[in-house]
Amino acid sequence: MESDRNVRPNKTKFSVRRMALLSILTALCYVGRIVFQFIPNVQPVTAILIILTLTMGMADGFIVAILSIILTNFLLGMGPWTIAQIASFGVLIVVTGLVMKPFYKKVHKAYFVVFSFFGGILYGFIISLLTVKMMGITNFWVYYAAGIPFDLLHGLGNAGFYLILEPILAPLVAAQLKKG
């Protein structure tokens, strides 16, 4: 049997640097959600998750999404909607990772700003669909139509936050990934 000093440590996928980066991004989502809670559906979380998924990948997007929602809902209120929020962000992360990531750095940033806007619409549709099923609401379309103004605010907020945060976060994340 080899001694401990001759055994190479396994290089884990979750390095300390990566975990620290995910923790910082989770904290950024947490603070952003709390600070902007007074504006309905306008918060930087979705834009951060889109940027994170484009730069690091879907697994990292899922980790930050789940942690962000659970942590903020401890303060804002935990309930069955927490599951719907996590699932809605999950769908958005999958769409971002599978559909948009292959084009990242290949097409103009305006496409991703538009995608961020429609990400808010997609999130609203998915969460409405899940909420109707969980709460036993009988008419989905009436419920969904009542939420469209909030989805539009979410989309506009996403587009604005993407424009502001992508030029800051993407290079920082890329630099940290090169180091790690």
Q: Does the CA dihedral 36-74-94-40 come out positive or negative?
A: negative
Using 50, 70 and 90 to split pLDDT, how confident is the model at 12? low
- Cα 11 to Cα 8, 58, 63, distances in angstroms: 9, 21, 20
How far does CA 80 lie from the centroid of its chain? 19
Model pLDDT, residue 180 = 66
pTM for the whole structure: 0.89
98 burial type by CB count under 10 A (0-12 exposed, 13-18 middle, 19+ buried): exposed
Q: Which residues contact 72 (CB under 8 A, 6 or more apart)?
A: 29, 30, 33, 34
Query: How far is Cα 103 from Cα 151, in angstroms, rounded to an integer?
Result: 25
Confirm if 128 and 147 have CB atoms less than 8 A apart. Answer: yes
Model pLDDT, residue 137 = 86
pLDDT digits (tens, 9 = 90+) for 48-73: 999 999 999 999 999 999 999 999 99
What the chain holds in terms of domains, given with CATH numbers, is 15-179 (1.10.1760.20)
Q: Element (H or E) spanning 38, and its range? A: none
pLDDT digits (tens, 9 = 90+) for 104-163: 989 999 999 999 999 999 999 999 999 888 888 888 999 999 999 999 999 999 999 999
* Bigger pLDDT: 7 vs 39: 39
Rounded-to-10 torsion of CA 62, 70, 117, 173: -50
Helix ranges, 105-139 (H): 109-135
